[in-house]
Amino acid sequence: MKLIYCTDCGDVVALRRQERFCICGKSKGVYGPDGLHATISGPAIPLGFANPSFRQALQNQPETGMGKEFTAFVIQKICDTVEVTG
């Protein structure tokens, strides 16, 4: 799963196949038709969730105490599945 973090307003937005904007409107992103490649723009930093780790955390959500950890990461600046425009 890809998300963007706007360095101007601090909003985090999950990408979809419809263009989505952060709360201040300066960062935006959208998945391409294949659901893997994305295009982002503005002061956006791409983030990723490791899908299997995220699904496992959701399935093992505890009733109380600390939540279940999963793997999330900042996507590298040069990435073949994220195009940065404007």
Taking only the tens place, the pLDDT of each residue in 40-50 is 999 999 999 99
Instruction: Output the six-digit token pair for 16.
Output: 């979809």
Confidence band for 38, pLDDT divided at 50, 70 and 90: very high
**Residue 26 near residue 43, CB atoms below 8 Å:** yes
Instruction: Output the six-digit token pair for 46.
Output: 């791409």
Cα 49 from Cα 52, distance rounded (Å): 9
Taking only the tens place, the pLDDT of each residue in 53-71 is 999 999 999 999 999 999 9
Report whether pLDDT(86) > 90.
Answer: no
Residue 32's φ and ψ, nearest 5 degrees, are: -75, 180
For 82, the enclosing helix (H) or strand (E) is strand 82-85
Q: How far is CA 56 from CA 12, 30, 60, 63, in A?
A: 22, 25, 6, 15
Give the pLDDT confidence score for residue 71 in this predicted structure. Answer: 98
pTM of this structure: 0.91
Structural domain boundaries of the chain? 2-85
